[in-house]
């Protein structure tokens, strides 16, 4: 199975001034709901450029960016049209000249409030920290990663499931949030050791080339994760790093 890049939808490419509109629709869950609304929009020569929807509490919530460049009707008229459709309880439309999402704040993932931080800015932040503090920055980054891992392990463990389930959730969370693709090697529970590879790792990609490994935060993260998993103190050593020219980052856990 391959992976495909995904643009996180916080901004749509602008069109002619006043012609890009963001719409937010809430309706009761029922068969054909999205299709009926989509047909009503298409019938007026309005283009759905992008969007996303969520289902919960017996409601369907649909956010979409609409291009009215060739529309037969105005945004106000479309708003009235959709509001009169069956099971629709709320319709809002707002022009978005710059193309940014104007409806949703704050952002959340897995129940947590999150922020958007691009890899280049992250790299600049860490580089400046190292410039100011020198090698003292490395244990700071390590301990930040370890503290995050211990907190996440406790949070995920409280939701039930085995240690293997929690490990899998953390692995998938790391990938889904854009940090990298984690691959676990064979886990020897008796001896308390394994190895971990991370492909397409954002940390070395954002920090650039180096003559030594740079993934101090994830080294701390893996130390925290596997200390919880094995139930005793372990350490993680980075033996390969993309920053030094390796194909992937690799850590020995023992």
In this structure, how many other beta carbons lie within 10 angstroms of the beta carbon of residue 142? 20
Bridge partners of residue 135, in order along the sequence: none
- In tens, the pLDDT along 190-238 reads 999 999 999 999 999 999 999 999 999 999 999 999 999 999 999 999 9
Which pLDDT score is estimated for 10?
Answer: 85
Give the containing element (helix H, strand E) for 51. strand 47-56
Q: How far is CA 158 from CA 28, 155, 175, 205, in A?
A: 32, 5, 22, 33
**pTM across the whole model:** 0.86
* Full set of structural domains in the chain with CATH: 20-105 (3.30.70.260), 118-253 (3.30.1380.20)
CA 129 from chain centre, in angstroms, equals: 24
Which parts of 114-200 fold into alpha helices (H)?
119-133, 137-157, 163-176
Give the residue-averaged pLDDT of 124-152: 95
- In tens, the pLDDT along 7-31 reads 887 899 988 878 999 999 999 998 7
Mean pLDDT over each residue of the chain, to the nearest integer: 94
Of residues 69, 88, 63, the one with CA closest to residue 10: 63
Q: Report d(CA 244, CA 131) in Å as an integer.
A: 19
User: Is 1's pLDDT higher than 70?
Assistant: no
């Amino acid at each position: 199975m391959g992976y495909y890049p995904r643009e996180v939808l916080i901004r749509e490419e602008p069109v002619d001034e006043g012609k890009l509109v963001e719409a937010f629709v809430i309706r009761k869950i029922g068969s054909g709901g999205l299709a009926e609304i989509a047909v009503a929009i298409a019938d007026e020569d309005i283009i759905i450029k992008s969007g996303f929807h969520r289902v919960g509490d017996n409601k369907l919530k649909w956010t979409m960016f609409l291009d009215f460049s060739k529309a037969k009707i105005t945004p106000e008229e479309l708003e009235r049209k959709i509001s009169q459709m069956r099971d629709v309880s709320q319709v809002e439309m707002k022009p978005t000249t710059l193309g940014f999402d104007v409806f949703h704040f704050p952002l959340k993932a897995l129940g947590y409030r999150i922020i958007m931080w691009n890899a280049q800015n992250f790299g600049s932040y860490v580089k400046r920290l190292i410039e100011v503090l020198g090698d003292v920055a490395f244990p700071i980054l390590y301990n930040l990663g370890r503290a995050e891992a211990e907190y996440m392990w406790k949070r995920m463990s409280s939701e039930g499931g085995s240690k293997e389930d929690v490990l899998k959730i953390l692995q998938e969370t790391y990938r889904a949030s854009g940090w990298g693709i984690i691959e676990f090697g064979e886990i020897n529970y008796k001896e308390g050791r394994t190895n971990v590879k991370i492909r397409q790792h954002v940390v070395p990609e954002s920090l650039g080339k180096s003559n030594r490994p740079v993934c101090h935060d994830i080294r701390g993260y893996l130390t925290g994760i596997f200390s919880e998993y094995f139930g005793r103190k372990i350490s993680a050593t980075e033996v390969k790093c993309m920053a030094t020219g390796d194909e992937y980052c690799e850590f020995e856990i023992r």
